[in-house]
Structure 1
Amino acid sequence: MAASLKLSPSSSPPLLLNPKSRSSPHLLKPFPSPPLSSPRFSSLKRSNLFDRRGLGLLVHAVKNDGGMDPRSPAPEYQSGGESTMPERFRYLTREAPDRPVRWPWVIALFFLVYCWRTVLWELSNWKKAALAILHFFGYLSKLALAFVFHFIGDPITGFIRIIESSLYLVRDIYFSIIAFAPVPELTRIILFASTILAIGEATVPDSVNSQPYLLTLAGIIGFGAVKGVILEPFFWLFLVGIFCFSRFIKKRESTSAALPSAAVLAAIGEPWVRGLTMVSYLALAIVQNSKSSEEAVNVEVSLKQRKLPLPLLLAALSIGIHVAAKWIRYRHLRWMIA
């Protein structure tokens, strides 16, 4: 039976070319064909197909009864899944790489854009969050302040009102000095008060430096009387109280004890009050000087530093500020005109 079969040239066993050894013809190996006497291969037709992708020669069996078209590609190239080629033939071929899948990048790009948009939105809301936190702490501070004011609110309110009134008073005094400072009257005050101080210092040395607080208090009383804050009876009562305190408590001479009251009367009094005060104080100083012994008069008193009374210093400063503001205003107008 095997002798009666004739082999056609096309049915000779094909030669498979290994892709790695195309340039070596001596490496060609004949493919072992199955025995022709087997009834399993009696109805098969061998055909050689050339791989279009350049992967070498592929040999596969196809049924003649119409199971598969011989011109169709091999089953391992029809789908992207696992190859159906037997293991013993896989060394003859190379697996073709699948096409890159691009749609996962689109999904990743979508999520990246969404996350970045969310981050931008959160960054745009950080100011609102910070303001909300600050408002919350503001409400807490208001609650604590209300709790404190519930117990000691009245003293705190009174203290705040005193501070506010003081600030308004200082501002009014400053603007009144710049705009409406009575320079001639302040000059007369400095002149008459300095005359009284000079008489007292000549009679009793160190009488000015020994009582700076009483001189300052007398100046404040005089300023309050000029502004109308202190009534005239209280004004005279305060002056008598200052004299008694200095004469009987501090045990000073009559000239030194009467120095603050005489300086205030000479500074802010009427013209006849000023004249009467200066004449009376000068007579008191002469009488006290005549009663003192020659040894006490000839004693030299060394003064290291003479301090100017604060009321006279403030009056001189007011004159300087007013004159400086007037000069600056004048020069400014000249510059604007020029």
Structure 2
Amino acid sequence: MALFALSSSLSSSSFCRNSRIPSIRFSPVSRVSHPNVYKPTFAPQKCFNSGASLHGFGVPGKFPSVRLRVSTRCEKEDAQNGEIEDEAELFARRESTMPDRFRHLTKEAPDSPIRWPWFFALGFLVYAWRAVLFELSNWRKATFAIIGFLGDLSKFALALVFHFIGDPITSLIALIETATYSIRAFYSGIVAYTPVRELTTVILLASSVLAIGEAVSPNSITKQPYVVTLAGLLGYAAVQSYISEPFFWTVLVGLYGYSRLIKKRDDVTSALPSAAVLAGVGEPWVRVVAITGYLALAMYHNSTKTSEEEEGQSLRRAPPIPLLAAALAIGVRLAAKWAGYRHLTWMIV
């Protein structure tokens, strides 16, 4: 009975846990050979590491047979708590005898990162980057070579074209350049030197002549727009001394004859372009003579006109192009003068 009590106390105490104290269990003695004696037995082997077995503390029949086994863990407590769940942890702690409450203190600290292999990687990266730059430089040279070849080819084609038709192309370029510079100079002259007062006088006098012609012979301007425009261009050329005075008078007489003899228009309509130009750009005495003579002609024509010759007057008429150009030149000059004045004012302020 003393051995039974000792076995019970050893198996239930916490001192047995994770120690090498033998675990002893008893079982009732078989009553076949010894009917009056209880025989202690041991439990089956369930520990991980076992030691030697000890048999017989006495003579059979008088003392029970005792089997001692040495283990690293207490089987009962391991089965209840389930402490070892991971196979890696089981393998790492196969020989450990530390109590479970201290095992969390034995975790391995993480190793410091190893940085020296990065130097090898950095070397390879630098080498690769230099290889990429070298390859890009080769591509750049190839691209520039291709572009240079295309440029030389285009020059050769242009030289070939100029070898056969170079003179007409050169003349055309010179003509375009001359026209561009002429238009630019003309615009600059309008902006800088447009005589606003003289152009206003020209517009008023020419408009008065045109109004007399329209009052006596309706649609006298719309019947001959090209002749009126040509007369205005002749007047501008005479003022700028592009043509001589005899040529100017000859062309005016020719315009009158063309309208009167070829187009079969009346005297008022035929003399309208020449009278308007003379009233606009002539000398003062020429203006007086032109306006007075044309007014007398219009009055005579109106007195001799019958009712059958009256025509319906068109209400939608555009002004003659010479007068429209003169008005536009006055507007450009005034706008440029105002802009320059404002610009100078801003600069001073």
Displacement of 1:115: 4.4
1:323 aligns with one of 327, 334, 339? 334
2:222 aligns with one of 190, 205, 209? 209
State the one-letter code of the partner of 2:340. Answer: R
Matched, 1:170 2:183: yes
Q: Which consecutive residues of structure 1, in runs of 5 or more, have no partner in the other structure?
A: 1-22, 27-101
Indicate the RMSD between aligned Cα atoms, in angstroms: 3.1
Moved over 6 A (4+): 23-26, 108-111
Displacement of 1:327: 1.7
1:282 aligns with one of 277, 289, 295? 295
Secondary structure in 2 matching 1:163: helix
State the one-letter code of the partner of 2:162. Answer: F
In the TM superposition, 1:99-248 aligns within 5 A as: 113-124=126-137, 129-248=142-261
Q: Name the CA distance, whole Å, in 1 between partners of 2:152 and 2:268.
A: 64
Q: Name the CA distance, whole Å, in 1 between partners of 2:145 and 2:247.
A: 58
Q: Name the CA distance, whole Å, in 2 between partners of 1:151 and 1:179.
A: 44
Q: Name the CA distance, whole Å, in 1 between partners of 2:229 and 2:322.
A: 6
Q: 1:179 to 1:116 in 2, by over 3 A?
A: same
In the TM superposition, 1:304-319 aligns within 5 A as: 304-319=315-330
Q: 1:125 to 1:159 in 2, by over 3 A?
A: same
Q: Name the CA distance, whole Å, in 1 between partners of 2:181 and 2:336.
A: 21
Q: Name the CA distance, whole Å, in 1 between partners of 2:151 and 2:200.
A: 54
Task: Tell me the TM-score normalized by structure 1.
Answer: 0.62
Matched, 1:269 2:308: no
Secondary structure in 1 matching 2:316: coil
Please say if residues 212 and 295 of structure 2, whose CA atoms lie closer than 8 Å, have aligned partners that are also in contact. Answer: yes
Q: Name the CA distance, whole Å, in 2 between partners of 1:260 and 1:131.
A: 66
Which protein is richer in strand relative to its size? 1
Q: Name the CA distance, whole Å, in 2 between partners of 1:226 and 1:129.
A: 65
Displacement of 1:127: 5.7
Secondary structure in 1 matching 2:201: helix
Q: Name the CA distance, whole Å, in 2 between partners of 1:276 and 1:131.
A: 77
Q: 1:271 to 1:136 in 2, by over 3 A?
A: farther
Displacement of 1:209: 1.5
* Match in the other structure for 2:71: none
Displacement of 1:274: 1.4
Q: Name the CA distance, whole Å, in 2 between partners of 1:248 and 1:224.
A: 26
Q: Name the CA distance, whole Å, in 1 between partners of 2:246 and 2:167.
A: 33
Q: 1:227 to 1:158 in 2, by over 3 A?
A: farther
* Match in the other structure for 1:335: 346
Q: 1:151 to 1:237 in 2, by over 3 A?
A: farther
Displacement of 1:303: 1.3
How many residue pairs match? The answer is 240
State the one-letter code of the partner of 1:319. Answer: I
Q: 1:337 to 1:250 in 2, by over 3 A?
A: same
Displacement of 1:112: 5.6
Please say if residues 219 and 313 of structure 2, whose CA atoms lie closer than 8 Å, have aligned partners that are also in contact. Answer: no
Q: Name the CA distance, whole Å, in 2 between partners of 1:264 and 1:242.
A: 12
Structure whose CA Rg is larger: 2
* Match in the other structure for 1:95: none
Q: Name the CA distance, whole Å, in 2 between partners of 1:286 and 1:239.
A: 22
Displacement of 1:279: 1.6
Secondary structure in 1 matching 2:243: coil
Q: 1:241 to 1:201 in 2, by over 3 A?
A: same
Q: Which consecutive residues of structure 2, in runs of 5 or more, have no partner in the other structure?
A: 1-47, 52-115
State the one-letter code of the partner of 1:200. Answer: G
Q: Name the CA distance, whole Å, in 2 between partners of 1:129 and 1:240.
A: 74
Q: 1:254 to 1:329 in 2, by over 3 A?
A: same
Secondary structure in 2 matching 1:256: helix
Deviations 1:42-75 (Å, cap 9, x if unpaired)? Answer: xxxxxxxxxxxxxxxxxxxxxxxxxxxxxxxxxx
Displacement of 1:121: 3.7
Displacement of 1:244: 2.5
